[in-house]
C-alpha cells in the first residue's frame, strides 16, 4: 500500500489525526487506522485514539490534549456514535469549535445511516464523498478506499504549502 507525493521533493510537517468513535464501532476505527498505518507516507502522519491512554493517566485530559493537538478530527458516524453522550456532548463540540476557528479539519465518516445527526455536522462534507454510508456499499473495500483517498486529499490540501503541493496517489493491494 502506498500514499506518495509524486512530484514534490519537500515534505510537510507532522499531521495529527484524532479518531472520535463509539467503542462499539472500534472495528471501523481499526480498519481505517490499519490502512493509514500501512502507508509509506512522505509526511509524518500520526493517529491517536483513546486506547493510547497509558494506565494511570487521566483519560479526559488525554482526550482533550489530543483533540486540541489534532490537525484532522475524524468522526465515525454510526447509531452508537450519535447516541453516545460523551461523543455528542464533549468530543463533537470541542472538535467543531476547533474547526470553526480554523485550527483543525473535522471530517465526518458516515459508517451507517442515522437520522439523529448533530445539526452542525450536516454542514460538513462527509466521507465517502457520495454521501452513501460505508455499510450500504456493495463493495466495502471500495468504500474504505474512497474514505482513505478523501483523508489523503485533506492531508495534501491542508498541510502542503502551495509551492510544494503535488499530486498524490493512493494504491491499495494489487493496484
pTM of the complete model:
0.82
Q: For all residues of the chain together, what is the average pLDDT?
A: 82
Q: Rounded to whole angstroms, how far apart are CA atoms 81 and 75?
A: 8
Cell numbers for 44, please give them: 509524518
According to DSSP, residue 91 is labeled I
Answer with the residue of higher pLDDT: 166 or 2: 166
Answer with the residue of higher pLDDT: 29 or 12: 29
Answer with the residue of higher pLDDT: 20 or 171: 20
CA 150 → CA 135, 145, 153, distances in Å? 17, 8, 5
CATH of the domain at 18: 3.40.50.10140
Range of the domain at 44: 2-171
Quote the pLDDT of residue 152: 86
Q: Rounded to whole angstroms, how far apart are CA atoms 65 and 57?
A: 12
Number of domains observed in the structure of the chain: 1
Contact 148, 134 (CB under 8 A): no
Average pLDDT over residues 109-115: 90
Q: Rounded to whole angstroms, how far apart are CA atoms 75 and 72?
A: 10
Q: What angle in degrees, to the nearest 10, is found between the helix axes of 26-37 and 140-159?
A: 60
Whose grid coordinates read 493512493? 170
Cell numbers for 14, please give them: 507532522
Amino acid at each position: 500500500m502506498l500514499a506518495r507525493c509524486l512530484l514534490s521533493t519537500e515534505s510537510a510537517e507532522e499531521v495529527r489525526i484524532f479518531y472520535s468513535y463509539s467503542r462499539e464501532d472500534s472495528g471501523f476505527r481499526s480498519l481505517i487506522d490499519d490502512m493509514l498505518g500501512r502507508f509509506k507516507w512522505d509526511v509524518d502522519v500520526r493517529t491517536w485514539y483513546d486506547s493510547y491512554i497509558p494506565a494511570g493517566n487521566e483519560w479526559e485530559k488525554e482526550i482533550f490534549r489530543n483533540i486540541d493537538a489534532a490537525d484532522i478530527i475524524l468522526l465515525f458516524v454510526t447509531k452508537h456514535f450519535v447516541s453516545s453522550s460523551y461523543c455528542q456532548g464533549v468530543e463533537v463540540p470541542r472538535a467543531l469549535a476547533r474547526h470553526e476557528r480554523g485550527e483543525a479539519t473535522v471530517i465526518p465518516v458516515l459508517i451507517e445511516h442515522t437520522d439523529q445527526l448533530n445539526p452542525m455536522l450536516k454542514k460538513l462534507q462527509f466521507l465517502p464523498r457520495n454521501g452513501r454510508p460505508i455499510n450500504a456499499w456493495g463493495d466495502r473495500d471500495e468504500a474504505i478506499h474512497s474514505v482513505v483517498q478523501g483523508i489523503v486529499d485533506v492531508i495534501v490540501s491542508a498541510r502542503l504549502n502551495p509551492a510544494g503541493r503535488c499530486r498524490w496517489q493512493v494504491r491499495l493491494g494489487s493496484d
